[in-house]
């Protein structure tokens, strides 16, 4: 039965609990909010201390001989790449009479194709005047280079067409010579040959006329390209707005900081493996969550609810202690202050039934070292616990934090209530606490969860884990009566997680 229950529990446990991750990341909102704020401030500081260099912009209308309505932008992308060559940079620097290297100048400007025929040039400089002069020199150099390339292409095309026409004219002259050397004959074969020569001459005349027309079109197309390629937006300095830059950089820094903070919080949550949900804390400790208390009193409208929760917890613990013949202790994990307050409230409630002595086993003697107030119970340190009378009701308070002397916990109480702050201890340490308490035969009556997630709707009651506390009580009762027998089978400490529902465990 135990093996079957354990296997079912392992099968039901998800490999990655998204709900627990979201809750843990939300609880670490101070971290990612702080990182988002740091990103916001860093963006504003960068905008103020590192303003962009002076820059200028100009726009050039680029005409191409191969322009087509369905062009996908290939020609303008080629122009952008040509603008970023050392040849254009060298022409611009030469007009500026600057000793700067073209390779260095390439880092100070960039081109952007706005449309198929519109090119934007952005340039930075030492000053606004220098940036404007650089932009004008670059635009002029690009236009001159583009016009030169178009002219050379047109001349090359016209020359090729003219050469073709000249070859055709030479062939035409040869055909005319053959036609002139033939005498009229009645031979049908000779007549057919003369007719083919005349047909060839007509074809050559047509092709020569075509080559003449195409060469003329190639020459006349260049002026259109030259006239169409021009600076349509004169170089001008780009005005820099410090408030706008600060807002933009701050927004970018805020987003980056927030994303980085969330990532760090998520990774830290997964690596630390600190249970936050009620069901996880209860499953790792093997005991049910009997109450939840906020870590602080909260806002003014929440204090009444907090006081009511404290009163309910005090009444519940008082009934438990009155019904137990064994001394009860409160052991804290990450909630020393809350454990001290709960202990004093419980001692005051039990004082009506008789004298109550609080044994302070907290690190630093937080209760034994304080000045007592009127009506407070007697508080002694752990060293004086042996001298107390058995007629007095004992109420111990201690800690199960790392470094705890586990064998000393029995002197605080043979039954205990764990006061655990959510997200403080790792799952491995909660397992260690439950195992050590079970080895010391100190049953856990319940768990008081401090600083729970307000949106937690998981069930922290382990209905099949009640044997953990009952086993301890039965063993102690058997030892008192002298009829106890050594058990050969040890019941499992860890209980399976109950199904999630919207019912809160109180």
Question: Using CA atoms, how far apart are residues 449 and 23, in angstroms rounded to an integer?
Answer: 15
Closest CA to 51 of 243, 236, 257: 243
> Which pLDDT score, from 0 to 100, does residue 228 have?
85
CATH 3.65.10.10 for domain 275-481: no
DSSP-derived pairing of the beta strands 118-124 and 55-61: antiparallel
CB atoms within 10 A of CB 500: 12
At 124 the three-state DSSP class reads: strand
Closest CA to 96 of 68, 70, 132, 64: 132
- Quick check: 87 and 145 in contact, CB under 8 A? yes
DSSP per position, 343-409: HHHHHHHHGGGS-EEEEE-STT-TTTTSPPPTTPPEEEEGGGGGGS-TTSEEEEEEE-STT--GGGH
Count helices and strands (H / E) in the chain: 15, 11
> Which pLDDT score, from 0 to 100, does residue 232 have?
92
Q: What angle do CA 421, 428, 454 make, to 5 degrees?
A: 30
Residue 432, judged by CB atoms within 10 A of its CB (0-12, 13-18, 19+), counts as middle
DSSP-derived pairing of the beta strands 356-360 and 444-450: unpaired
Q: Encoding tokens for residue 217?
A: 């079109």
- Quick check: 56 and 135 in contact, CB under 8 A? yes
First to last CA, the chain: 30
Question: Using CA atoms, how far apart are residues 431 and 422, in angstroms rounded to an integer?
Answer: 15
Q: Encoding tokens for residue 370?
A: 């304080």
Sheet hosting strand 230-237, strand order edge to edge:
109-113, 118-124, 55-61, 230-237
> Which pLDDT score, from 0 to 100, does residue 130 have?
93
**Which helix or strand (DSSP H or E) is residue 444 part of?**
strand 444-450
CB atoms within 10 A of CB 15: 4
Tens-digit pLDDT string for the chain (506 aa): 444 444 444 445 566 677 888 888 888 888 999 999 999 999 999 988 988 899 999 999 998 877 777 777 888 999 999 999 999 999 999 999 999 999 999 999 999 999 989 999 999 999 999 999 999 999 999 999 998 888 887 788 777 878 787 788 887 787 777 777 665 555 556 667 777 877 877 887 888 887 777 777 666 667 777 888 899 999 999 988 888 989 999 999 999 999 999 999 888 888 888 888 888 898 889 888 888 888 776 566 667 888 888 888 888 888 888 877 788 899 999 888 888 888 888 888 888 878 888 888 888 766 755 666 666 777 887 666 666 666 678 888 999 999 888 888 888 888 999 999 988 888 899 999 999 999 988 998 889 999 888 888 887 776 654 444 444 444 445 554 554 444 333 333 333 333 343 333 33
Residue whose token pair is 């939840």: 292
Q: Which residues of 194-231 are buried (b: 16+ CB within 10 A; e: fewer)?
A: eeebeebbeebeebbeebeebbeebeebbeebbebbeb
Centroid of chain to Cα 413: 48
Beta bridge partners of 417: 330, 446
User: Residues 6 or more apart from 491 whose CB is under 8 A from it?
Assistant: 2, 467, 468, 471
- Quick check: 433 and 458 in contact, CB under 8 A? no
Question: Using CA atoms, how far apart are residues 146 and 421, in angstroms rounded to an integer?
Answer: 74
Q: Measured between alpha carbons, how far is residue 268 from residues 171, 241, 420 in Å? A: 88, 40, 20
Closest CA to 297 of 283, 313, 308: 308
Domain boundaries, the chain: 20-51+243-270, 55-239, 275-481
- Quick check: 89 and 53 in contact, CB under 8 A? no
Question: Using CA atoms, how far apart are residues 232 and 228, in angstroms rounded to an integer?
Answer: 10
User: Residues 6 or more apart from 312 whose CB is under 8 A from it?
Assistant: 291, 506
Question: Using CA atoms, how far apart are residues 398 and 340, in angstroms rounded to an integer?
Answer: 9
Question: Using CA atoms, how far apart are residues 455 and 282, in angstroms rounded to an integer?
Answer: 17
Q: Encoding tokens for residue 357?
A: 């002595």
């Amino acid at each position: 039965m135990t093996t079957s229950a354990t296997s079912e529990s392992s099968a039901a446990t998800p490999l990655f609990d998204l709900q627990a991750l979201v809750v843990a990341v939300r609880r670490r909102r101070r971290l990612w909010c702080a990182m988002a704020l740091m990103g916001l401030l860093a963006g504003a500081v960068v905008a103020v201390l590192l303003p962009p260099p002076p820059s200028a912009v100009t726009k050039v209308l680029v005409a191409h001989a191969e322009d087509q309505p369905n062009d996908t932008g290939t020609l303008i992308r080629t122009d952008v790449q040509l603008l970023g060559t050392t040849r254009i940079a060298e022409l611009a620097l030469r007009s500026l009479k600057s000793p700067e290297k073209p390779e260095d100048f390439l880092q100070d400007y960039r081109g952007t194709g706005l449309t198929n025929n519109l090119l934007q040039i952005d340039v930075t400089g030492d000053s606004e005047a220098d940036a404007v002069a650089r932009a004008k020199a670059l635009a002029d150099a690009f236009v001159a280079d583009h016009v030169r390339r178009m002219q050379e292409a047109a001349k090359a095309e016209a020359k090729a067409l003219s050469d073709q026409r000249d070859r055709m004219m030479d062939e035409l002259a040869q055909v005319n010579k053959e036609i002139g050397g033939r005498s009229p004959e009645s031979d049908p074969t000779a007549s057919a040959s003369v007719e083919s020569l005349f047909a060839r001459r007509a074809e050559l005349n047509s092709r020569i006329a075509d080559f003449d027309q195409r060469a003329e079109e190639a020459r006349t197309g260049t002026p259109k390209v030259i006239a169409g390629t021009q600076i349509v937006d004169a170089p001008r300095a780009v005005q820099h707005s410090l408030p706008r830059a600060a807002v933009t950089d701050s927004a970018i820094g805020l987003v980056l900081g927030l994303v980085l903070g969330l990532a760090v919080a998520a990774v830290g949550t997964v690596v630390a493996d600190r249970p936050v949900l009620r069901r996880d804390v209860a499953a790792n400790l093997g005991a049910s969550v009997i109450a939840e208390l906020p870590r602080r009193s909260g806002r003014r409208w929440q204090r009444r609810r907090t006081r009511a929760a404290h009163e309910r917890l005090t009444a519940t613990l008082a009934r438990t202690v009155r019904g137990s013949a064994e001394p009860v202790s409160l052991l804290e994990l990450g909630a020393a202050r809350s454990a001290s307050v709960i202990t004093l409230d419980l001692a005051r409630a039990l004082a009506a039934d008789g004298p109550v002595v609080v044994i302070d086993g907290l690190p630093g003697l937080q209760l034994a070292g304080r000045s007592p107030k009127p009506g407070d119970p007697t508080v002694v340190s752990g060293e004086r616990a042996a001298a107390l009378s058995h007629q007095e009701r004992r109420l111990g308070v201690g800690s199960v934090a790392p470094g705890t002397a586990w064998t000393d916990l029995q002197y605080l109480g043979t039954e205990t209530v764990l006061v655990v702050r959510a997200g403080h201890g790792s799952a491995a340490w909660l397992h260690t606490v439950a195992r050590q308490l079970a080895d010391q035969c100190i049953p856990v009556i319940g768990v008081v969860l401090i600083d729970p997630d307000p949106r937690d709707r998981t069930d922290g009651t382990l209905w099949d884990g009640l044997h953990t506390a009952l086993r301890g009580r039965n063993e102690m009762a058997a030892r008192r009566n002298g009829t106890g027998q050594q058990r050969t089978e040890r019941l499992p400490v860890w209980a399976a997680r109950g199904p999630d529902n919207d019912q809160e465990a109180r």
